[in-house]
Amino acid sequence: MTSPSITAIHSRDNPFVKDLRRLAQDTTAYRKQGRVWLEGDHLCRAAVHRGVRAAVAVFSESFWPLAQEEFGSAAIKIIVLADTLFADVSGLESPARMGFVMDLPVPPVVQPDAATLVLDRVQDAGNVGSILRSASAFGFRQVLAIKGSAALWSPKVLRAGMGAHFALQLVEGLDAQELGVLQVPLLVTHVHGGAHLHQAELPWPCAWVMGHEGQGVSPLIEGMASQRIRIAQPGGEESLNVAAAAAICLHASAAAR
């Protein structure tokens, strides 16, 4: 393996630093640049564990001597930023000391028969990241995001996903009609209608649909569903957080296999 080149940067006006700042702080900058920013050693380790070699590894100046042994060959190029410059670039209140810039994966072709999770305009980045973690944990390898959902590769979703992105096939920006290519049953969550989850016969593979935090699943997608499912809530709450509902539903499918 070719040894990476190492460059030290101390100027805020450096073009790489300007692009990195946009990646770290702008939700959709990755779509324009074709690259993704993974900030923090946990995300970087998760990427390495999944066989990802970053295009660029970025380290704060004080951390680089400590990181060389573990991460010195993790990227094609190494950038070392002055500590104050790394803090300025970071999108975190407590900046990490390292991060990876990786090429945005080419969106895969939708697999009609795959166990699938559909995000129907789920907008909160924390919810989306948490749902991706549940999908990975419970064997749903394909995630399809309908237009209006949070940007899947945004920094906040990546942090909430805790590395789940690298185990999933992610397709975003879909129209609801494009779900018609799926050949597995579509299951939608519903607050008041449908069978209770603990009593339902759950097919495998299937495609679970998680809807907008306030509006739920759109009528168009609900009309495409094979089953409507509700989660028993004997405590009396009107509804569950969408990430909590996703975890319960996906686990139920995994347990019923």
Instruction: Give pLDDT tens digits for 42-68.
Output: 999 999 999 888 999 999 999 999 999
**What is 116-256's CATH superfamily?**
SPOUT methyltransferase, trefoil knot domain (3.40.1280.10)
Question: What pLDDT, in 10s, does the model give residues 220-231?
Answer: 999 999 999 999
**195 C-beta neighbours (distance < 10 Å), count:** 14
pLDDT at 204: 96
pLDDT band at 110 (very low <50, low <70, confident <90, very high): very high
Q: What is the pTM of this model?
A: 0.92
Dump pLDDT digits (tens) for 169-188.
999 999 999 999 999 999 99
The residues of the chain that CATH labels 3.30.1330.30 are: 5-103
* Average of per-residue pLDDT across 79-87: 96
Instruction: In the chain, list all ranges with CATH 3.40.1280.10.
Output: 116-256
For residue 257, give the H/E element and its range.
none
Dump the DSSP string for 100-157. EEEEPPPPPPP-TTS-EEEEES---HHHHHHHHHHHHHTT--EEEEETTSPPTTSHHH
Domain boundaries 5-103, corresponding CATH code: 3.30.1330.30
Q: How much is the pLDDT for 99?
A: 96
